[in-house]
Amino acid sequence: MTRPPRKTHAMRVLDAAGIAYTATGYDASGAFHTAEEAAALLGQPPDAIYKTLVVLSESDPRRKPILVMIPSDAQLDLKRLAAATNDKKLRMATQREAENLTGMQVGGISALGLRRLAAFDIFIDALALALDTIHVSAGDRGTDLALSPADLIAATSARTVALS
């Protein structure tokens, strides 16, 4: 089920940068727990839908939080991310930590929706480069943005690394 998307900060960021995107709203009130279910709501393959995860350093408490965008049907390899960030030990943020740090609800976190982009180190899985169109959250549960991976990378200054 689709619904008209509401304008989000992420959309305003893309509009200001002149980046083309398509926004789609869907009913996120029901519980869906798998990449396949989320992809089915959008009518897209799971590997084109990217989730945004918040990761924290356990070895350096002064380190910026890390946002990682990976395919929704993939698992993040924390060892690969630690190697890419020159960190000894990383951990996934709790739901509360992720929401407090980003100001967005889990399930709607978006690198494009951050009010302070510089407060995070941002990474995207290298698999994104093989896509024509990538789908990410618009910073609001139930609102999807479709855009080119190159535009997403440019708008977020994400570093591309094999992470899943």
* pLDDT tens for each residue of 51-98: 999 999 999 888 999 999 999 999 999 999 999 999 999 999 999 999
Q: In sequence order, what DSSP letters do the residues of 33-80 get, joined into one string?
A: -SHHHHHHHHTS-GGGBEEEEEEEESS-TTSPPEEEEEETTS---HHH
Read off the pLDDT of residues 98-121 as tens digits, 9 standing for 90 and up. Answer: 999 999 998 889 999 898 878 999
pLDDT at 33: 59
pLDDT at 4: 66
Whether the Cβ atoms of residue 54 and residue 93 lie closer than 8 Å to each other = yes
How far is it, in rounded angstroms, from Cα 133 to Cα 55?
A: 25
Read off the pLDDT of residues 4-49 as tens digits, 9 standing for 90 and up. Answer: 678 999 999 999 999 999 999 887 776 655 667 778 888 899 999 9
pLDDT at 40: 82
pLDDT at 35: 66
Largest CA distance in the chain: 44
How far is it, in rounded angstroms, from Cα 52 to Cα 30?
A: 20
pLDDT at 23: 95
pLDDT at 92: 97
Compute the average pLDDT of residues 127-152: 95
Provide the 3-class DSSP secondary structure of residue 100.
helix
pLDDT at 142: 84
Extents of the domains making up the chain: 2-161
pTM of the full predicted structure?
Answer: 0.92
pLDDT at 42: 85
pLDDT category, 141, cuts 50, 70, 90?
A: confident
From the CA atom positions of the chain, what is the Rg in Å?
15
Question: At the top level of CATH, which class does the domain 2-161 belong to?
Answer: alpha beta
pLDDT at 126: 97
- Tell me the two tokens of residue 91: 């951990």
pLDDT at 6: 83
